[in-house]
Amino acid sequence: MRHEIILGGFGGQGMKVIGSLLAQAVHQAGKHATMYNIYAAAIRGGPIFCTVIVSDEPIVGGPTTTSPTAVLAMDENTVEVYEPVIRPGGTLVVNSSLVGRQPKRDDINVVMVPTNEIAEELGDVKFTGMVGLGALIAHTGVVPLEAIRSCLERTLPPYRHHMIPANEAALRRGAECGRSPARSAAAI
């Protein structure tokens, strides 16, 4: 099985961290992964897109995709850029906290998740990316949630280890949303 995943949002949402976490968890689960980041020069607020390719077989070619199987859209821009190119039957996980419109396509699975609200309930909007990642992996089954959890200590810098329990809670809450039945965009 091969997954071509785009994680998109803006600087400060943790896209690079969750991309790295996903790739490490995939390797730990015995699969192959490549990761590639594209981001603006601004540290916070600029657009960022991470591509993570996951495969049971060794990955040949570059770590990019023009037709993803799944997209985590943490902002309106990511929906605009990637909704048109998701493969039919693919998955679009949308941060409904920041995206003010419903996806238009009816041939993809859409999972709407209020990631910002959930992160704020957990105590800090910084957990919004983890909520989104939890929803994405629960819906796609790309890697077990436990594989993600077990990589937190290696991925997060030591000065952030005190936040591991909250990150685990964010992943679980997102996974609960991702396990909900997806709706086609036409049904939203």
Neighbours of 152 (CB within 10 A): 21
| Helix 15-28 vs helix 128-140: crossing angle, to nearest 10 | 40
pLDDT at res. 188: 39
Q: What is the structure's pLDDT at 155?
A: 87
Query: Where along the chain do its domains lie?
Result: 2-187
Q: Which class for 147: exposed (0-12), middle (13-18), buried (19 or more C-beta within 10 A)?
A: buried
pLDDT score for 183: 59
The tens-digit pLDDT sequence of the chain (188 residues) is 899 999 999 888 889 899 999 999 999 999 999 988 876 665 567 788 999 999 999 998 777 888 999 999 999 999 999 999 999 999 999 999 999 888 999 999 999 999 999 999 999 999 999 999 999 999 999 999 999 999 999 888 899 999 999 999 999 999 999 997 665 444 43
Domain 2-187 has CATH 3.40.920.10: yes
